[in-house]
Amino acid sequence: MSVTSPARSVIDLGTHRARRDPARTRERLIAAGIDLFAQRGLHDVTSAGIARHAGVATGTFYLHFPDKLALFRTIVFAALAELRARQNEAGATQPSGTAAELRARLDTFLEFAEEKRALMRVLFARSAEATGIADEIVAALAPGIERRYAELCDAGRLPPGLHPAVAAQARAAAVVRIAAWWTEDRSRATRSEVIETLVALDPAAFSPRPTP
């Protein structure tokens, strides 16, 4: 007579529930991934470990994601989309292209970082295996910044020698780097200091507005 272990019973129960509610299972896998990636980094986490942490069988993991990197990317880009949406909403409350708009966007960004600390450790991980993801985050952020700089250049509010695409790449890379640095240890600078320094370093923050 075979005896089923308590641990196996939990997994079987989780798998049964997973089949009945795939959306909920996906949420549990994402939550488990955020938790484990934040604790250990991408390299030291396995698909089986994520499934176990979520309370489902390893096979159930593969019904939702082909591998752990696919889950990692899902987490990163969902977080980035949420962050952009929140920043756009905050920025819309201020005059376009002003230091006030930039401060609103940055304040929302840091609020997001404080609210979702584990997620931010995943999003802005500086470990070697996440380098490609960081490059993709820069690529995702840069177009919006480039459009803003291009509009200001066309309006004559930035130096004529400034190239919007070059400036946008530099700006996006700096924000990602500072995010990683500050998220690792928030005692390095206050929230206000981070905001004011990033504002001061933005070429558009204090650009002259056209005379009426």
Place of tokens 């070059």: 166
Is 58 within the bounds of a domain?
yes
CB-count exposure of residue 126 (10 Å: 0-12, 13-18, 19+)? middle
Provide the residue count of the chain: 212
Is 48 within the bounds of a domain?
yes
User: Taking 60 as the threshold, does the pLDDT of residue 3 lie above it?
Assistant: no
Residues 41 and 116 in one domain: no
Residues 53 and 94 in one domain: no
Whether the CB-CB separation of 32 and 58 falls below 8 Å is answered with no
Residues 122 and 30 in one domain: no
Angle subtended at Cα 167 by Cα 164 and Cα 172, rounded to the nearest 5 degrees: 120
DSSP 211: P
Check which CATH number belongs to the domain holding 93 and give it. 1.10.357
Is 212 within the bounds of a domain?
no
Is 161 within the bounds of a domain?
yes
Residues 104 and 196 in one domain: yes
Per-residue model confidence (pLDDT) at position 54:
96
Between 191-201 and 164-184, two packed helices, what is the crossing angle to 10 degrees?
Answer: 170
Whether the CB-CB separation of 75 and 118 falls below 8 Å is answered with no
Residues 83 and 164 in one domain: yes
Residues 53 and 90 in one domain: no
> What does the alpha-carbon distance between residue 79 and residue 123 come to, in Å, rounded to a whole number?
7
Q: What is the pLDDT of residues 164-206, one digit of tens each?
A: 999 999 998 888 888 878 888 889 999 999 999 999 888 887 6
Question: Final residue of a domain: which of 43, 65, 87?
Answer: 65
Residues 78 and 176 in one domain: yes
Question: What spatial distance separates the first Cα and last Cα of the chain, rounded to whole Å?
Answer: 89
Is 21 within the bounds of a domain?
yes
Q: What is the pLDDT of residues 11-23, one digit of tens each?
A: 455 555 555 688 9
Residues 60 and 94 in one domain: no
**Strand, coil or helix: what is 158?**
coil
Whether the CB-CB separation of 164 and 146 falls below 8 Å is answered with yes
Check which CATH number belongs to the domain holding 31 and give it. 1.10.10.60
- Overall domain count for the chain: 2
Residues 100 and 145 in one domain: yes
Q: What is the pLDDT of residues 25-57, one digit of tens each?
A: 999 999 999 999 988 888 889 999 999 999 999
Q: What is the pLDDT of residues 75-121, one digit of tens each?
A: 988 988 888 899 889 988 988 778 888 899 889 988 888 888 888 77
Is 209 within the bounds of a domain?
no
Residues 28 and 102 in one domain: no
CB-count exposure of residue 28 (10 Å: 0-12, 13-18, 19+)? buried
Is 207 within the bounds of a domain?
no
* Residue 40, domain extent: 6-65
User: How far is C-alpha 168 from the chain's CA centre?
Assistant: 18
Q: Considering the entire predicted model, what is its pTM?
A: 0.72
> What does the alpha-carbon distance between residue 195 and residue 131 come to, in Å, rounded to a whole number?
25
Question: Final residue of a domain: which of 65, 85, 103?
Answer: 65
Structure tokens at 102: 């930039």
Residues 133 and 190 in one domain: yes
Is 156 within the bounds of a domain?
yes
Residues 61 and 146 in one domain: no
